Amino acid sequence: MADVTRERAQLLITSSFALAVLLIGIALVLNTAIYTENLATRDSDRGKDVLRLRDDVEAPISALIQHVNYNDTYDSYGHVNSEFAKELATVSDTVGKYGALDGNAVHVSAARTKGLRLEQTQKRTYTNASSGANWTLVDGGDDIEQIRHFQMEISRSGVASTCEPFMDCFYVTVANDSESWRMSAEKLSGNVFIKVEDSEGEHECGKYDEDVTVKITGEGIQQEPIEQATYEEEACKEAFRAVAGMDGPYEVTYANGDEIEGTYELSVATNSPLSTEDNFDDQPRLSWIVYDADVRVTYRTTDLYYESTFRVVPDEE
Amino acid sequence: MRSDGRAVSTAVHYIMTLMVVSLLTSGLFVVTGDVVNSQRDQALRGGMEVVGNRVAADIAATDRLAATAGDNGDVVMKTRLPDDIAGETYQIRIEDTGSMGSYEIKVTNGGGGVSVTVPVRTQIPVETGIVHGGDIVIRYDTDTLVVEHA
């Protein structure tokens, strides 16, 4: 009788042990499934913070270059550069602190390109500082490979009325070793007429009864002409696109600058002073600028390292 | 006579009980054993699908980052993955489908019985190869994305 009792207990123990193993098996499978669910619901769009960071850095640095360049007139590059460095440190600190809140190490630095802004900010004739009417703003010998933001505000009242376009009227020439582009302004019956000449020939670029804004390295003339009849719209747009796409080294000259009035500016990238600097003084004047910046962004978390260098040029038009 | 019958009845009763209990227990084992196995297979497949999709998502994310990083840029992304799925080791194979920028992430278990394929499309070419389960690193290495063991 005692033996029978022991055997019955053995069966029970074996069964319960096997059942326990089965339950553990089920628990393990459930555990795997739960882990899988956990893995599946983790953020799968990693790196979006980094892409946002790049945008968050690009726009402020572009604005920063603009702000520093236009905040003052600088007679040395060191001056504008130290202003820029000060502001950049603030941007880098701010970005770094915001990154640190999320446990990311973010760093921003920028290698700058030296540049000069040639400008006339007061309305006067387009003559040089010593009242010369035919003069060179940028000389081909200075090896200027980059020009941006070349624009003019032509005052209607100051445009000469009895002159021949590209002869004794005011005209600007942008040229390199192989190509040349010219724009002339004259006044007839109180209206300003703009003519452009490129490799395709001369084009009528409109008749205007107000002051004319021309973005030479950008989208061209900003106003709508008052008369469509003589306006060669496509050819004009193409001519402005051609000058914007022209390769360096550039030469920019004004002819008959005393036949026009208004303001203008252009920025060039250069390491050394221009050979034409004697043409500038109080008006027109030169100011050192930060032409552009190669911005380097690094972003580091435990699982991601990102480093990118990109060029920031404000208002490249 | 009466007491003999009672003794037989006890023995028969005991054997019958033993048989019924054994039958029920073995039935339980067979049924639950199958359930556990099929659940395990499902969990394995599910886990492999998740791993494949995760690798594909991180390759795509690294591709997007590398595209913005430029020529002098650097991108290294670590993907944390389990060393095994449902108790089985696994490997991740990256294969070129032959069509431009289109790849397949093939996750296979150690036994080789289960395989899951996830497609991924990138702008930057991905180096084909095999990595074993566990944490991996996706690296942007001069115009190529390289997947390697962390």
ipTM (interface predicted TM): 0.81
Q: Average pLDDT in the B43-48 region? A: 88
| pLDDT at position B5 | 58
A208 contacts: CB under 8 Å, gap ≥ 6: A156, A191, A192, A193, A194, A221, A223, A225, A226
Q: Average pLDDT in the B80-107 region? A: 91
Report the residue of chain B nearest A296, measured CA to CA.
B73
Q: Which residues of A touch B139 (CB under 8 A)?
A: none
pLDDT range class, residue A31, cuts 50, 70, 90: confident
Report the candidate in B87, B108, B91 with the shortest Cα–Cα distance to residue B37: B87
**Percent of chain A residues past pLDDT 90, beyond the cut:** 31
Candidates A15, A39, A302; nearest CB to B50: A39
Residues A65/A292, Cβ–Cβ less than 8 Å:
yes
| pLDDT at position A2 | 46
Distance, CA of A195 to CA of B29 (rounded, Å): 96
pTM of the model: 0.74
Q: Which residues of B touch A26 (CB under 8 A)?
A: 32, 35-36, 39
Q: Is A71 on the interface with B (CB under 8 A)?
A: no
The lowest-confidence range among A175-184, B10-19, B117-126 is: B10-19
pLDDT at A311 over 60: yes
Helix ranges restricted to H, chain B: 2-69
Residues A141/A133, Cβ–Cβ less than 8 Å:
no
Q: Average pLDDT in the B127-137 region? A: 93
Q: What is the pLDDT of residues A191-202, one digit of tens each?
A: 899 999 988 888
